[in-house]
Amino acid sequence: MTPALSRRAVLLAGLALSLPALLPRSARAQAASGRPVVVGSKLDTESALLGQMIALALEAQGMTVERKLQLGPTRILRAAILNGEVDVYPEYTGNGAFFFQMEDDPAWHDPQAGAEKVRALDLERNKLVWLTPGSANNTWAIAVRQDLAKDAKLESLEDLTRYLKGGDSTFKLAASAEFVESPAALPAFQKAYGFTLPPERLLVLAGGDTAVTMRAAAERLNGVNAAMVYGTDGAIQALELKVLADPKGAQIVYRPAPVVRQAVFNAHPKMGDWLKPVFDSLSLEVLQKLNAKVVVEGANPRDVAQAQLRNLGAAR
């Protein structure tokens, strides 16, 4: 071996020995195990976006990630994490009401109480750890055209009740049959706030696609100026609609949060710290805008997630 080659071999050997020390302890443990962290998501755009945020934030900390994004609906992801096929994925706090068959528990209508309840139940029964949730609420909501909101000073469903009882004759809501008929949807809003929308104030559209109901309001289809929406729908701002707040908690609250298997969390206890600033950033308005970049502007979810993490200083 020549002196040059000898020095190079020694240098490379030294680098090989020193590199593990440069990695976070969690990443070193993962490297020793040889197993990547499997990040999953549901089929919809928002879940895929959140899954990318989780994956990119973990990769920024030196962890090896395997993506199983848009794997299936809620029941598929739930089974996958319980069976160990997925290690972490984004879920919604309000789904705890159905996971544990506790739909009538009022805790699910409170943002903090619901998050605490599902965290305690899933840890005790399923060894799943719920990390810090975002404040955004992806639940059924009523949105109105922004011009109506401005003219009538509508910020909440309490304001809408005042407006309707003040003699307005122009309000008309586009919604699905399920939203109109399900006791958990429009009837729950009407009961909580004390207003009633007669049939002539409703445009019932086939299916449950909020893209159709929002478009009807934006285009004033058949006089419609309000729409059934999900709170974080990406087209809300693009179509110049405004979500009315639900201060009385008529709906179950669905806050997005990472859920991770306890065994994986124990092996990588810093995951909570790494993902907290990411989900702390997810207000209703921020998540609407991020979704809009994908569903309205056609951006790639990974690119949108990467840009958001860079803004937070949580990306490579």
Per domain, the residue ranges of the chain are 27-136+255-312, 140-243
Q: Would 27-136+255-312 and 140-243 be classified into the same CATH topology?
A: yes
Q: How far apart are CA 205 and CA 216, in angstroms?
A: 10
Instruction: Give the C-alpha separation, 254 to 142, whole Å.
Output: 15
Residue 23 pLDDT: 44
34, 23 in Cβ contact below 8 A? no
* Per-residue tens of pLDDT for the chain, all 316 residues: 333 333 333 333 443 434 344 445 555 555 445 689 999 999 999 999 999 999 999 999 999 999 999 999 999 999 999 999 999 999 999 999 999 999 999 999 999 999 999 999 999 999 999 999 999 999 999 999 999 999 999 999 999 999 999 988 899 999 999 899 989 899 999 999 999 999 999 999 987 689 999 999 999 999 999 999 999 999 999 999 999 999 999 999 999 999 999 999 999 999 999 999 999 999 999 999 999 999 999 999 999 999 999 999 877 7
Q: Which fold has domain 27-136+255-312?
A: D-Maltodextrin-Binding Protein; domain 2 (3.40.190)
- DSSP reduced 3-state for 88: strand
Strands (E), the chain: 37-42, 65-72, 88-92, 128-130, 140-145, 173-176, 202-205, 226-230, 241-243, 256-261
The whole-angstrom separation of Cα 241 and Cα 226 is 8
DSSP 136-205: ---SEEEEEEHHHHHHHT--BHHHHHHHHHTT-----EEEEHHHHH-TTSHHHHHHHHT----GGGEEEE
Q: Which two tokens stand for residue 115?
A: 């998050």
Whether the CB-CB separation of 19 and 208 falls below 8 Å is answered with no
Cα distance between residue 141 and residue 40, in whole Å: 27
Among candidate residues 56, 30, 54, the one with its CA nearest the CA of residue 42: 54
Strands of the sheet with 202-205, listed across from one edge: 202-205, 173-176, 226-230, 140-145, 241-243
3-class secondary structure, 243: strand
Q: What is 140-243's CATH topology?
A: D-Maltodextrin-Binding Protein; domain 2 (3.40.190)
SS3 state at 312: helix
Q: In the beta sheet, which residues pair with residue 230?
A: 140
CA distance 228 to 87: 34
DSSP state of 222: G
pLDDT at 48: 95
The residues, any chain, with a CB within 8 Å of residue 263's CB and separated by 6 or more, are 127
Beta strands at 202-205 and 173-176: parallel, antiparallel or unpaired: parallel
